[in-house]
Structure 1
């Protein structure tokens, strides 16, 4: 889908090229993450794909066609672009921001409005609530989701993403990463993703292209990057605790398939709660409302002080240590540490509990991997 052949970019008044003799092939539907320290050439490489920067030497082919032979405006209209600063037009509504490229391509207005609503739903924003609002009224995470929707608006085959989640807090960043991975499973776009964070690269990439001083050092799967770093530079970039980093290769839903969780109803009696707590293999049991949505937890610590007439609603703790089923085991570990708990409850799209992972379970998985 994307092929860089002998690509070099040398800026004026610079002795060393920003990118030097780069060969890189990215297959259709692949997410390739360009990773490296600041100034390694990763963003320049990405910008040469949609001709925001032109190479000094070499060729870049998009689906077999030299991108220098494609009108740059048409080229960019067919390549989605997401950046860290989001780049939404502040004077325009969310709907108009998302509709920017389809309008440039002269789509019929009804088709545009349907596409806007579909995409806002896709990124988890209710069109009825968000389409007429301005960017300033949204949180950073919501604006970033609008940025992704805008990049997808004209249904491009290729997405370029430059540090797309770098400007939000860690919890929001994890949520956005997981949401994008879920989207990518459905859409199968060809994605070039730039980051300086090796943990994000391991989590997000089908392949990782490690760059240093304009050169490609290693282009491999995340698993191979972790297990067979090509040289000392790649080893140093990965850093220590490789066993923990490998947790980002495993989705939670792959682990909880055979670990059913039996939640309590909020209006359950304590006799029911006591029976489930005694039989439970976990330190906590989730509590759900009539719609099956998580509303809190009860822990085994309350067993000793239970009063027979008490109900679950009287003793449950609201909230809980929670993570999405699309997250990785690395996310689960980080969430436990953030909450100071030894477990995390897994929820689905309806916020219904579908599993529970304990700290001891993660330790066993890490031991198995190390072995």
Structure 2
């Protein structure tokens, strides 16, 4: 059932806690340096790593946190509530395409419940709805789904048109001229990201193994194979690219990084549950888990594009189920579940400009269930509005839209 997708992810995540342990690692001589997560924002760090090999040099990187704007504080201007629905896509800053869920037949001991799903478009400001005639560009003739990723400087777009769940046609579009080039090559369960302003990295995937990594030139559509020598990565758990580097998690949940032409990766962080690269490619949000040591649970940390920790941890709890950057990279939404009610619980916003974390639990309506999303977060095009969907005992689902100022 759709409304149970989020809870399934939470249960799966909780099971992973039994086998993971958090550490940070880096071999001597590597170009990237990982900073101890326990360093405070204003403190320094003592290098506790093993001595480098004779003749090698290991330099300590002291991270400078982004300049904070003490006179600017992220606040909530208004909240909106959409009953029995989840957001499918944003059509504009004010309108969303939603899917409404209705229980048609209750479940029994031998039969699953039956639901009816309808699509419509809602104006966030007025609450008025209208029939969805296929707006939003999520579907086009001959394809079940269209996905578009804009380059960091806004010059190009990488477009995937999915024929089914496993086969996609890929294109690069010049947003200045409107020219579109189709990219050669099959792909299966694609993952990728912009390596720089005019190069896209595609993890094409395969029915047998991890498949090819392709470097795609946005200017002419030329495809070059990228070599990776890593026997511990039969499949990519997560994959992304930023500032000339390619990031992924291997079979042991280790976050690694390498550059095209480098082949051998550098290990950055062990026991990574998920990571998200900001749209402007400046930050990497990393959630980790551990079941050993003084702290047992999940942590959320922010790294820069070089793999250096930015300040101290952003959030912690028993598990962090969802993380999502706003389109302008100014805000990071994340959900924390903690059994101990005195700890962090619910949805939070990390403001990169001020370095503050804003809890959203105080803005939920009275009587709402435990405030943990069952679908991924959904940002408006400007990043000034955030939508997230919760289970609801009366209407099955309820979607909150938060306006920031």
The structure, 1 or 2, with the larger RCO (C-alpha pairs under 8 Å, 6+ apart) is: 2
TM-score in same-fold range (> 0.5): no
Structure of greater Rg: 1
Give the structure with the higher percent helix: 1
Greater share of strand: 2
So what's the TM-score if we normalise by structure 2? 0.23
